[in-house]
Structure 1
Amino acid sequence: MKRAGWRRGRKGVTDAAVTVAVALLIRYAIVDPPGPSSPWPAWSAWLVAAVLSFPIAVRRRRPRVVLAVACAGGAAVTVAGAVAAGAIWLTFVPTVLVLYLVATTASIAWSVAGLAVALAAAVTAILIFYAQVFPGLALAAAPSELPMAWPIEIGTTGVLLTVAWALGTAVRWKRDTTARLVRHLADAAVTDERRRIARELHDVIGHSMSLIAVKATVANHVADARPQEVRAALAVIEQTSRSTLAEIHRVLDLLRSDGDPRQDPVPTPGMADLPELAAHARAAGVEVELTVREEAALPAAVAMSVYRIVQQALTNVVTHAGPTRCAVTVDVDRREAVIEVADDGPRHGRPPRAGHGGHGLVGMRERTKMYGGTFKAGPRSSGGFHVSARLPYDQDGTAA
């Protein structure tokens, strides 16, 4: 807000300085014109210059109204003969400056109408001056180096008005194009954020609900025969539900804290949380062998992507192949993170409940693609399923 006020103040000072400069130029031209002098008294040059230049100082308040005032003022003093013969175009310089502002702020229809009116007024006033006023003026003491002719006056004034309109229109087009681009980028950012949050919720809920479903099934089947296992299953369900709620709250807090500096940063899952993932999978009946080799500390964004890929891969194992054996290997060096998740398939020859496909593989592939890495997933020749992801990265967390 302070910056906007400072900009308005700076523009006001600039307009005031331009107003004074144009007024002095017009006054000098009227007092010492290239052609015959005006019959008006010398002191009137100050008044005429001030009246003609005043619209420049107030042009930002109501540009279209000020344009009409500037145009009418220039035409009136020209017809009255209170101008510099041979430099009448100076009389319409304030109109030129106001027309530029109109072209930058008003619609194309309004700016074209303003240009047409300004041209018509200037041409009419100059023709009247040379037809009725100029012949009655006293000849200059010294011959002028500039030819006194209405085509030159009209041409100069017309070029100035047209160039001002064209520049203003170009500035307005650039501003509109930039605004549309900013809106497009903002919409794209919102869409990307929605997709990211959808992936986060999918990974969190999918992983946890798979564990809960498995344990609920176990509890239902052994409720009568082994009640102690029911209690253990319910404990796992309770723990998983609590952690899932905490994760969902974390994701929703990301939404609430966007752009709010008062919100405390919310911790994101990373490499240190991989053992907990393995423990959840073991609680669901999957024998997980976790191996993590870290030669360098991963940036937070890459670490979260590694966590989510491992989480989704283990969720697929629990859902489609468990109970089974699964090996998870995460190998990190200074250039890339390599993830390998391989399971032995369902035990006792039981066919998998479904293929390891669906949104889980899509999410893992998208996370890998963000870093320009490679992702492979498919059945193993010896049985089971294998997932491999390679995430190259720079130290700032971006794709290598």
Structure 2
Amino acid sequence: MLKDHDRYARLMKRIRRALLYALDAGAAVVLTLMYIGFAAMRFPDGHHGADLYGTLIALCVGLPLAFRRRRPLLVYGIVLAAMVTATLMDITREPFLAVGLAAYLVGLTRPVRLAAPVLGTGVAAASVSVVLGVGVLTPTEGFWSAAGLAVWAGLVVGVSGGAGCLLRWRRAETVRREGLRARRALADERLRIARELHDIVSHNLSLIAVKAGVAAHVAEDDPREARAALRVIEETSRSALAEMRRTLGVLRSEDAPLAPAPGSGDLAGLAAEARRAGVRVEFTSSGLAGLPEGLQLAVYRIVQEALTNVVRHAAPTRCRVAVLGSAKSVTVEVTDDGPPPDADPPMRRLPGAGHGLVGMRERTMMYDGTFAAGPRPEGGFRVSVSLPRALEFGEGAGA
């Protein structure tokens, strides 16, 4: 898919470049014929350009424009010199249109520090040559008319080159903004991936750690319970590996099979996993039908992380999970009674860096919701989240 897209993009780029070269060639032919006509024209004062010299100069003015995209500075220099010569020889009164076309490419393709002096030289040369040619060498106009024509010729060259410089600057700004947008999108994607991996790894490893502690604690006194804990460890680790493979497979290849994202229908499974880790979970839910997929994923991850924290810091304990939907919002509340006084501290003091609460808060902020977490006065811990149900940005953000 990407290869086809790249091939199509390269083809369109070649076609566009060929069209631009064709337009330049057409303009070169038209201007060459026009200047040859000027060279053969007899002016009112009886003077006309010499056929041989006039034709050569006309060729130098027009034909190089066909190559202005390949060698803009060289073409600009040739055309400018030919136009100055044509003006001084009174072959043409035309105000440097060909030089303007060449100057535009100089401004478009060269940095300002190089283009500015080159274009300034062209403006000065055009203006001075018009004053000398029209007002001094072959005076056919008054001084002020010659001065006005000189200003006009300078404007044609200067404005054309300035337009090229302006377009170059705008393209550079567009590239810069696109780069910033790409880096911001990359940072957001890295944060999203880190959050997903944290939720997957943290939840499953917490269950494994708790069950490993149980197995070690009862291995000698109750081998049956130790074996049951080891089976939970085996099943949880297999589930974690499968989920990690799916996530990494999506990152590595666009063709990786996509499993459905977890949602509100999988919340009861989270409660069941917490029960296997020794937490007595009371789970209730209602009003969740029709939730957008992104919002379902956010609710699932918040409940998952909240239960992971309960398993990590309070198991074995009692926990209540309520996920309630209304017409305007979805509320998630997870409360626990705290670890029992006689619980073994090593089993309920598993390491954690506090990323879980940060992740829950970030997911809530993505949907412009409200987040609260802290100890309860009667003991234990409480996590409360409210997410707006209808929010266009939120619906796409969590997907």
What range is the shorter-chain TM-score in? 0.7 to 0.9
Question: TM-score scaled to structure 1, two decimals?
Answer: 0.86
Give the number of equivalent residue pairs: 384
Do the aligned residues in 2 keep the contact of 1:270 with 1:304 (CA within 8 Å)? yes
Q: Is residue 39–residue 48 contact of structure 2 (8 Å, CA) maintained in 1? A: no
Please name the residue that 2:24 is paired with: 15
Structure 1 residue 232 and structure 2 residue 240: aligned?
Answer: no
Structure 1 residues 263 and 211: alpha-carbon distance in aligned structure 2, compared to 1, 3 A threshold: closer
Distance 1:375-1:328 versus aligned 2 partners, 3 A rule = same
Match of residue 69 from structure 1: 78
Q: 1:347-389: per-residue Cα shift (whole Å, max 9, x none)? A: 2465874899811111100000001001111122332111111
Q: Compute the displacement of 1:340 (Å).
A: 1.2
Tell me the percent identity. 41
Matched-pair contact (CA < 8 Å) for 1:52–1:94: yes
Name the structure 1 match of 2:133.
129
The residue number in structure 1 matching 2:281 is 288
Look up the SS of the partner of 2:138 in the other structure: helix
Contact between 1:320 and 1:356, CA under 8 Å: does it hold in 2?
no
Query: Residues 204 and 354 of structure 1: is their aligned pair in 2 closer, same or farther, counting only changes over 3 Å?
Result: closer
AA matched with 2:320: A
- Equivalent-residue separation in structure 1 for 2:308 and 2:44 (angstroms): 92
Within 2, Cα distance between the matches of 1:114 and 1:160?
A: 15
Match in the other structure for 2:210:
214
C-alpha spacing 1:364/1:2, structure 2 compared with 1 (3 Å): same
Distance verdict in 2 for CA 1:37–1:63, change over 3 Å: farther
- When structure 1 is superposed on structure 2, of 263-272 and 274-283 the one drifting more is 263-272
Q: 2-side partners of 1:73 and 1:393: how far apart? A: 71
Aligned to 2:3: none
Match of 2:103 among 99, 106, 126: 99
Match of 2:367 in 1: 371
Instruction: Return the letter of the residue paired with 1:98.
Output: A
379, 386, 394: which is aligned to 2:390? Answer: 394
Q: Once superposed, what is the RMSD of the aligned Cα atoms?
A: 3.0
Write the distance in 1 (CA, Å) between the matches of 2:156 and 2:272: 78
Distance change >3 Å, CA 95–CA 226, structure 1 → 2: same
8 Å contact from structure 1 (residues 299, 395) kept in 2: no
In the alignment, is residue 83 of structure 1 matched against residue 91 of structure 2? yes
Report matched runs for 1:181-196 at 5 Å: 181-196=177-192
Please say which of residues 185-194 and 153-162 is displaced more in the overlay: 153-162
State the match for 1:60 in structure 2: 69
- Residue of 49, 60, 71 corresponding to 1:40: 49
Query: Unpaired runs of 5+ in structure 2?
Result: 1-9
CA–CA distance in structure 2, aligned partners of residues 32 and 112 of structure 1 = 35
**Alpha-carbon contact 2:211-2:277 (below 8 Å) kept:** yes
Q: CA–CA distance in 1 between the matches of 2:79 and 2:192?
A: 56
Letter in 1 for 2:14: G
CA distance in 2, matches of 1:393, 1:63: 58
Give the letter aligned to residue 70 of structure 2.
R
- Greater Cα offset, 66-75 or 8-17: 8-17
Aligned-pair distance for 1:50?
A: 4.3
Equivalent in the alignment of 2:267: 274
Picking from 150, 153, 158, the partner of 2:149 is 153
Deviation at 1:127, TM superposition (A): 5.0
Flag structure 1 segments of 5+ consecutive residues without an equivalent. none
Task: Give the CA deviation at 1:282.
Answer: 0.8
Q: 1:253·1:266 contact (CA, 8 Å) conserved in 2?
A: no
Contact 2:54–2:86 under 8 Å retained in 1:
no
Distance change (3 Å), C-alpha of 1:266 and 1:108: farther
State the partner residue of 1:204: 200
1:74, 1:270 → 2: CA distance? 73
User: Are 2:120 and 1:116 aligned?
Assistant: yes
Whole-Å separation in 1 of the counterparts to 2:172 and 2:258: 36
Aligned to 1:164: 160
Q: Displacement of 1:241 after TM fit?
A: 0.8
The question of whether the paired residues in 2 share the 8 Å contact of 1:356 and 1:385 is answered with no
Deviation at 1:199, TM superposition (A): 1.1
Cα 1:215–1:355, aligned 2, differ >3 Å: closer, same or farther? closer
- Offset at residue 37 of structure 1 (A): 5.3
Moved more, 2-11 or 358-367: 2-11
1:95-126 deviation line (CA, Å, top 9, x unaligned):
11111111112111221132133134324543
Q: Residue type of the partner of 2:273? A: H
Instruction: Determine the structure 1 residue equivalent to 2:4.
Output: none
Distance (whole Å) between structure 1 residues aligned to residue 317 and residue 106 of structure 2: 74
- Find the aligned partners of 1:303 and 1:344 in 2 and give their Cα distance: 27
Matched residue type, 1:83: I
- The 10-residue stretch of structure 1 (374-383 or 209-218) with the greater mean CA deviation from structure 2: 374-383
Name the CA distance, whole Å, in 1 between partners of 2:81 and 2:317.
90
Partners of 1:67 and 1:99 within 8 A in 2: yes
User: Could you tell me how far apart the structure 2 residues matched to 1:263 and 1:19 are?
Assistant: 53
Q: Distance in 2 between matches of 1:65 and 1:286?
A: 80
